[in-house]
Amino acid sequence: MRKELFRQAFHLLLGMLIASFVLLLGKTTALILVLMGIVFSLIISIYLIKSRKFLPVIDDVLEACEREHEKGIPLKAVHFFLLGCVIALMFPENIALTALLVLSIGDAASTLIGIKFGHIKLGKKSIEGAIGGTLFSSIPAFLALNSIPLALIASITGMLAELLIPIDDSITIPLSVGIILMMVI
């Protein structure tokens, strides 16, 4: 649980940082920064794979955050998360911001709540986690959209995508939230 807590805190902070970039610097600048982050993380990942050298801070973070199935590709989760952020940033600003918030807050909350309270499982995910993720991501989604029904639609869509689609949720959450909001707004 401790490792997952650290991982989800990192997930939440990175997502909130990118959402802050959108609010403070604009969507285009945020997109450029995220793309730079992808390039930087890929360079580090390739370096770690090829050299097999120890990098003190990065290796400590990887050890603290990576799940067992991700250890073959260093920073794999970061690559997918940043790719999900790029997908979110392809939508209009209010939808992009909402998708980023549901991704960072809803996903972190659903994982932690699911681990602690999840009993009804669908694969490796839990219904309780999805409900918790929906509740926690609805409030910031409301702040981004200024609409309770749209916030609930976005949050429920994101958590259903995480729960039901067997592709990395860092991709499915922002994509599904963005598409459904484009359809209803």
State residue 27's pLDDT score: 97
Determine the 3-state secondary structure of 118 from DSSP: coil
Which residue from 77, 113, 84 is spatially nearest to 101, judged by alpha carbons? Answer: 84
Running along the chain, 185 residues long, what does each successive block of 10 average in pLDDT?
82 96 97 97 88 69 65 82 98 98 97 94 92 97 97 98 94 98 97
State residue 45's pLDDT score: 87
**121 membership: H or E segment, kind and range:** strand 121-122
pTM: 0.91
Which residue from 80, 88, 82, 81 is spatially nearest to 182, judged by alpha carbons? Answer: 88
Cβ atoms of residues 28 and 124 within 8 Å: no
CA 108, CA 32: separation in Å to the nearest integer? 24
Cβ atoms of residues 140 and 121 within 8 Å: no
